[in-house]
Amino acid sequence: MIQESAVKDIVKQIIQEMDLGAVLNEAPLQEVTEVQPTGCEAVEEGEIPDVAAVDLRQQYLIENPHNGEAYLAIKSKAPCRLGIGKAGARYKTEPTLQFRAAHSAAQDAVFTDVDADFIEKQLGFFTVQSRCENKDVYLTRPDLGRQLSEEAKKTIAEKCKKHPKVQIVIADGLSSAAIEANAGEVYPAIVQGLESQGIDVGTPFFVKYGRVAIMEEIAEIVEPEAICVLIGERPGLITAQSMSAYMAYHAEKNMPEARRNVVSNIHREGTNPAEAGAHIADVLKMMLDQKKSGTDLKL
């Protein structure tokens, strides 16, 4: 084993050979008198551009690309975080801020409740609640989000019309932003489509902290032929405003998922809300005509 003293002698010899003192003397430190900008656009007046408003399909940040136009043409088909470039070993500032903004929007959609004024004044719905006492319970106990509270059961029994052809319900799900952004257009479009075909629509209402399968307990009370639940989808980094419509014919407790139909991805950049409403009405009409839903339904 090499002795410590021998190691010290070797290090000392190497330092002497490098002559670090001479190197430092040849390149004295210089005082920095002015900092030059390095490409960041200074904003003197007005507002800083909203990074969340950038269309990712048109964003291409690769420097000196081999065939940038072809890459951008492919990227224009979907809002993917590709071709965003790097600054050394890290991501550039703009895509980093965009990622954080999208992540924050997704978190807000999950943890924020739907505005009560939107439900009561704009839609004119009454509100009931699942067995979840708060948002934390809703996120950690999915089973309770599928069940109505005793008070909710009583309220629905008192206020809702019994045995309608179609019962429509809105539930917050995992995105309050999705409900506020889309329900105001989707619901009237569904009702208009159904009523134009002479289909009776039940009394609509809103379920706080509700999940898809809560339709089963609602159907047990109201006894509609078909039921439709508009619910906020789990938000992602592309959009936090995506809503889905789950439908079933003669829904009942513990029914298999195969008996449900869904129209998903309802938002401004996906399935247009008004068009989605018209399509949902058509699917519900097919359920009533064929007296079946899910994988048995012929679309």
Where is the binding site for adenosylcob(III)alamin, in residues?
Answer: 212, 233
Ramachandran region of residue 237, left (φ > 0), alpha (ψ -120 to 50) or beta? alpha
Separation between Cα atoms, residue 240 and residue 106, nearest integer Å: 5
Sequence-distant (6+) residues with CB within 8 A of 61 are 83, 84, 85, 92, 94, 95
Separation between Cα atoms, residue 136 and residue 36, nearest integer Å: 49
| Four-residue CA torsion sign, 142, 227, 178, 130 | negative
Binding residues: 212, 233
Ordered DSSP codes for 187-243: HHHHHHHHHTTT--B---EEEET--TTHHHHHHHHH--SEEEEEEEPPP-SS-S--E
Sequence-distant (6+) residues with CB within 8 A of 275 are 189
Ordered DSSP codes for 247-292: EEES--TT--GGGEEEEEEESTTSB-HHHHHHHHHHHHHHHHHHT-
